[in-house]
Amino acid sequence: MQNENKNFPIVIPIIGNPNVGKSTLFNSLTGLRQHVGNWPGKTVEKKEGIYLKNPQIRFIDLPGAYSIHGASAEEKITYNYLQNHKQDTVLQIIDATNLRRGLYLTLQLLEMGIKVVMALNLNEQAKEQGIIIDDSIISSELKIPVVVIDPVKKTGIDKIVETVSCRHTENKKPIIDLSYCEDMKATDVRVISGRHNFIDSIVKRSVTKNQVTKDFTKMIDRVLLNKILGLPIFLFVMWLAFVISFEAARPFVDALDFAFAAISEIVKNFLLTDLNAPAFIVSAIVDAGIGGVSSVLIFLPNIFILFLTMAFLETTGYLARAAFIMDRLMKKIGLQGKSFIPLILGFGCNVPAIMASRTIDNPKERLLTIMMTPFMSCSARLPVYILFAGIFFSENEGTIIFSLYLIGIIIAIIFAFLMKKIVAKKEDAVFLMELPPYRIPGFSNLVIPAYHKSKMFVKKAGTIILSLVLIIWFLANLPIGVDYAAQESVLGFIGTLFAPLLEPIGFGDWRIAVSLMFGFVAKEIIVGSLGTLYSTGGKTLTSIITADFTALSAYSFMVFTLLYSPCMATATIIKKETQDWKIPLIVIGYNIAVAWIASFIVYQTGLFLGL
Amino acid sequence: MGELFKLSELAKGSKGKIERIEGTIDFQRKIMEMGFIKGTEITLVRKAPLGDPLQVQLEGHSIAIRKKDSRNIFVKKD
């Protein structure tokens, strides 16, 4: 059934093996005109974009697949889409350095009777490797149009769109001799061999390979995967990524902080003197609105740079090497190298990280990876660390923040160990992973994802966070007549109910209880709501926190924030990805328990030691 | 000539041709779809810094495979 996008006559799915330049092509076709939605009737993310030069053409970025019949969740998404859209014209991108594997997918598409247009990505790597391909032979053997492109230099892009829309209007089914798969299941080993024999005959006639002069990937691998240097370099890269994400953002954060304070002052004066607005309106707009939202928004530079760093590690090809290096250790805790990628991405945001677990095709390993991800300290928790560490540990802020990330990692490892003991696995699953060639990431590969993530963050600040801080402000003013943010307010009542539970871990203030409660919606709100609740009587958030916390209780609070629960969006995505609503509830349950116990240990040990 | 080795037994940097793949049907299918096909030239590039998995070169691409799984792949040395 193709009942979507009736107004748009042409919808072109883009398909390809992983790491063949699919996203680069998609980005250069659609630029920033992309949106991420859900598949109709399904709960899986769908990436769609409008062609820059003609809004009548839309592209869908299907997840990378080695095989239509593959076992990973990503491959299943691709399979299901194609199964339901057999009349579509598919744009398949093939990496010239991996022609055979690309053609394997082409044959599977043709077997399904799908119209294919091939974009042959003849990139720098192919030229470096001295590969020359006669695309006319591929075209005539498979009876499909083939266009040579270079998505980085943007050559052949117009032609591929023209070809694909042309093929779209034709109704001819592909016609080639596929006798090797007659009367057999598509997953039969003999069919797989049949495909490879066919491909062999095409490759032998269409590809010439010149003597390779230099292979940069091999040269770089020799250093980065070196027996002795490999591990230290890996640790150094991780450390560097961490430092860059924080240090580079600092001046921008300070500038934003300054700017927001100035804006807040100007707005306040304008409202009070020029408009003669009543004090409570001014309080709502300035204290709640601007105070709450700006306390979150100033961390935008951190978030942008963090995602930039993530995208850099991923698109250069280093993240796959990191997974390769880590496989041995991951195996010890019942996981595999591929699990390392979602866990690292979790430092950016748990939501895409949990989606990245789709490449793990063993269901148990995938579930365990998903369940561990919330322990990875995402960027939304960062505002809390920066605020509190900046106040109480300004001498060694970096070390303190790093220690929190480490606590998250250590607890995740302990958790995996326990799970391994509880859910005994018969044997390790197969771990097969491609190590893609190193690439110098294009501007679009880095900035576009970071831009989209930052946009989401700003949007969140302007919608969910703004409305929640206003709700908080409102509840803090009820019942009528009560002093703003007094304990007698409705909010104070709710907070006071839970505060005793937090007493033994060092922060029994009702306002903290409230901020943590609302923090479940989005962790940025913790700082946002503190900004709203504490910004009374002309005192700054910093001065009140300094008075209300000790260094020890601040650290305990950071540990609790790190561990206490995945946010609502993460819980939702866990439900979607596992197709089981019990899993997110279980995750929330043990996260709260672990957070409380960890903070209890930190706080009580600290008290005992006289800190 | 003619003697079969397990992929795991190849020396670092040496080449061979894939001759036979054993193991479960699922394993065979998965590995064949990644390009491990009879007759394909394969090079053992290196071990990971911690000793496992292995990095192998297969046609134009580089693949990580655990030692345990590589024992199911039999190659003929050139």
Q: State the pLDDT confidence band at A393, using cuts at 50, 70 and 90.
A: very high
* Per-residue b or e along B51-61, where b marks 16 or more CB atoms closer than 10 Å to that residue's CB: ebbbbbbbbbb
Q: Do A430 and B31 touch (CB under 8 A)?
A: yes
Q: Which domains does chain A have, with CATH numbers?
A: 10-209 (3.40.50.300), 237-431+445-608 (no CATH)
Q: Give the pLDDT score at A16.
A: 92
Q: Give the pLDDT score at A590.
A: 94
A510 touches chain B (CB under 8 A): no
Nearest 5 degrees, angle CA B55-CA B34-CA B68? 50
Task: Identify the domain containing residue B46 by its residue range.
Answer: 4-77
A76 touches chain B (CB under 8 A): no
Q: State the pLDDT confidence band at A34, using cuts at 50, 70 and 90.
A: low
pLDDT(A6) > 50: no
Higher pLDDT, A60 or A286: A60
What are the tens digits of pLDDT across the range A348-367?
888 878 888 888 878 888 99
Q: Give the pLDDT score at A404.
A: 94
Closest CA to A224 of A324, A97, A344: A324
Kindly report the nearest CA distance between residue B3 and chain A, in angstroms.
23
CATH number at B34 reads: 2.30.30.90
- A·B CB contacts under 8 A: 111
In chain B, the number of structural domains is 1
pLDDT(A605) > 90: yes
Residue owning tokens 């206490």: A564
Chain A residues in contact with B51 (beta carbon < 8 A)? 328
User: What is the pairing mode between strands A131-133 and A207-209?
Assistant: antiparallel
What are the tens digits of pLDDT across the range A432-459?
888 988 888 878 778 887 888 788 778 8
Cβ-nearest to B51 among A187, A193, A328: A328
User: What is the pairing mode between strands A34-38 and A45-50?
Assistant: antiparallel
Chain A residues in contact with B52 (beta carbon < 8 A)? 327-328, 331
Neighbours of A131 (CB within 10 A): 18
How many helices and strands, by DSSP H and E, does chain A display?
28, 10
Q: Do B64 and A435 touch (CB under 8 A)?
A: yes
Q: Do B65 and A431 touch (CB under 8 A)?
A: yes
What are the tens digits of pLDDT across the range A264-285?
888 888 888 888 888 778 878 8
Q: Give the pLDDT score at A460.
A: 77
How many residues are recorded in chain B? Answer: 78
Chain B residues in contact with A203 (beta carbon < 8 A)? none
